Structure 1
Amino acid sequence: MPTIYKFIVFTSFVASILYDFIRADEDSSSLPINQQETTFITGPYLESTGITNVTTQISTHAYLPCKVRQLGNKSVSWVRVRDDHILTVDRMTFIADERFQSHFVENTGVWTLQIKYVQARDAGLYECQVSTEPKVSARVHLHVVVPRTELIGDPDRYVKAGSTVIFRCVVRGALEQPTYIIWYHGSQQIYVENIRGWKVQFERDVEGDTHSSVGTLLIDHARKQHSGNYSCVPSNSAPVQVTLHVINGESSASAVTSACSPSLGIYGNLYPLVLFALFPFIQT
């Protein structure tokens, strides 16, 4: 066989192989990306099907997200898992509690359940459901942080007239610091500028702790009219109370003693009878 004929046959064989390879590659690349890698999804689906954690502070607003793709004409519902209560369907609310609302941002595909003024009982699991068959769903776990208010020192204070009195309360564990801490004497609010000798201070970031704040009330020269109940009231935590007793001279000491030993008042009248009963034994 002539050399030129062998060359033509070889070239045709190589060209045939290359043609088949190129055709196969073109057929594959013409498919959608989802079909090249996995099964093409034609219906609604969620970007996340696991459990999403959301943490918020009591009395603030909570936002629970659910991102849905290719929703079409299907509906999105939010359900409270603990009692299977349907809260919303699309933008409609199906619970009497007006704190619950569903919001949708079309260009993002995100359906958000908003819970206003969150309460401690709102904590728990919520489920985002798409009305497909079978159902498509994802869950969000809402954690509610409840700050605590602590009084530094005893809740009952006994001081002599003219003494300096300092009350302090600390707000701990808050995600957001209180915007204010107000002190009350009875039902009367104590302002920074007042005529009764009170001084009020409010400190944030106590000792480098961004989650603690301190409210301080100072009385330079305690007088009888300063006696009574004082309340520390933060903007985002429960109030605490302390009672001040301003006492004078010797009567003050007896008041403190009787307050610390309430049993003395019960048995004090029996003291003469006890002596009378023991008198014969004392003589012998």
Structure 2
Amino acid sequence: MDQLKISSNSANAPLSFWDDSYAQPYFDNSTKRDITVTIGQTATLQCRVRNLGDRAVSWIRKRDLHIMTIGILTYTNDQRYQALHTEGSDEWSMRIASAQPRDSGVYECQVSTEPKISQAYRLNVVVSKAKILGNHELFVKSGSDINLTCVASQISSPPSFIYWYKGGRVVNYSQRGGINVQTDRNTKTSKLIISRATLGDSGNYTCAPSNSDASSILVHVISGGEHQAAMKHGNNSANSLFSLSKCYRIRDCSSTPWRLLQSLKSSTIALLCCLIAFNSFFTIR
């Protein structure tokens, strides 16, 4: 008679279902072992143990080897921690309410076999902060559109809402026409579009998701004349610097740096560049 051979899908799994009562416990690795939550959220570490038998499951905090739970009992004065288990199930979980950064770290789910077996779980408690894309200041020409995009990063679940404020007041559709807010909770993104901006639309704008720190940006709406003046000033500075660099290359203008220095007094950046070039000129000569 041929000998019956039994194979196993896992080195730690029982050889057959007839031997369950005699098999060693093993971990079901289908549970998530790297958990990230934001401050104030509830974190749940789920440990699933097969063939537990009469052994006990404990949760250990790795950094100080503190026993947090054994079975359904909790062994810490911090009431935010709680052991969770449904009778008859293979899941032995630990829940941490209102998670804080100090709760971050490695926790071990440990089974009282001989020798003991354990499985590590990492908890990350992060500070979620919204971010308005771009620089901290935005300059918009009068009549153009203000287009702001806010992203709520490092959050495990979509925000319930994302509010936009101007100053201390919620941006209201009824305040003026041409205001459009587009929020996508799945991508944790919100866009504020203000059409045909006027000088009155200048101010501090804030994006405030329900579960993240807010982010702000200062918007300047400038008239066409101011825009042209700014461009002209930039061109004049650029032309002065070009003349200085040309003079430096030919090395034939001993007094020119002084004249350029006097003509660029209104621009701090140009002044610094002139002094550097002037020093280098005489050093080389």
The answer to whether 1:216 aligns with 2:191 is yes
The answer to whether 1:188 aligns with 2:172 is no
Q: Check conservation: 2:180, 2:194, Cα contact below 8 A.
A: no
The answer to whether 1:54 aligns with 2:51 is no
Query: What is residue 228 of structure 1 aligned with on the other side?
Result: 203
Q: Check conservation: 1:102, 1:112, Cα contact below 8 A.
A: yes
Which stretch has the larger CA shift, 144-153 or 223-232?
144-153
Query: What is residue 10 of structure 1 aligned with on the other side?
Result: none
Q: CA deviation at 1:189?
A: 2.0
Q: CA deviation at 1:113?
A: 0.6
Q: 1:39 to 1:160 in 2, by over 3 A?
A: closer
Q: CA deviation at 1:165?
A: 1.2
Q: Check conservation: 1:156, 1:244, Cα contact below 8 A.
A: yes
Q: 1:267 to 1:164 in 2, by over 3 A?
A: closer
Q: 1:200 to 1:56 in 2, by over 3 A?
A: farther
Identity of aligned residues (%): 30
Distance across 2 between alignment mates of 1:200 and 1:97: 46
Distance across 2 between alignment mates of 1:243 and 1:199: 17
What letter corresponds to residue 234 of structure 1 in structure 2? P
What letter corresponds to residue 223 of structure 1 in structure 2? T
Distance across 1 between alignment mates of 2:220 and 2:231: 9
Q: Check conservation: 2:43, 2:96, Cα contact below 8 A.
A: yes
Distance across 1 between alignment mates of 2:33 and 2:213: 23
How does 1:128-277 map onto structure 2 within 5 Å? Answer: 128-130=109-111, 134=114, 136-142=116-122, 144=124, 149-171=130-152, 175-191=156-172, 193-197=173-177, 199-204=179-184, 212-248=187-223, 250=225
1:77 partner SS: strand
Aligned residue among 30, 41, 44 for 1:63: 44
Q: Check conservation: 1:99, 1:116, Cα contact below 8 A.
A: yes
Q: Which one has the bigger strand percentage?
A: 1
Q: CA deviation at 1:114?
A: 1.2
Larger radius of gyration: 1
Aligned residues: 225
Q: Which runs of 5+ in 1 are unaligned?
A: 1-20, 22-32, 271-284
Distance across 1 between alignment mates of 2:220 and 2:42: 41
Q: Check conservation: 1:79, 1:128, Cα contact below 8 A.
A: yes
Q: Check conservation: 2:37, 2:43, Cα contact below 8 A.
A: no
Q: CA deviation at 1:92?
A: 3.9
Q: Check conservation: 2:197, 2:221, Cα contact below 8 A.
A: yes
The answer to whether 1:100 aligns with 2:81 is yes
Distance across 2 between alignment mates of 1:236 and 1:185: 19
Q: Check conservation: 1:155, 1:242, Cα contact below 8 A.
A: yes
Q: Which runs of 5+ in 2 are unaligned?
A: 2-14, 238-263, 272-285
Q: TM-score, normalised by structure 2?
A: 0.59
Say what the alpha-carbon RMSD is for the aligned residues.
4.4
2:200 partner SS: helix
Q: TM-score, normalised by structure 1?
A: 0.59
What letter corresponds to residue 184 of structure 2 in structure 1? R
Q: CA deviation at 1:267?
A: 6.0
The answer to whether 1:110 aligns with 2:91 is yes
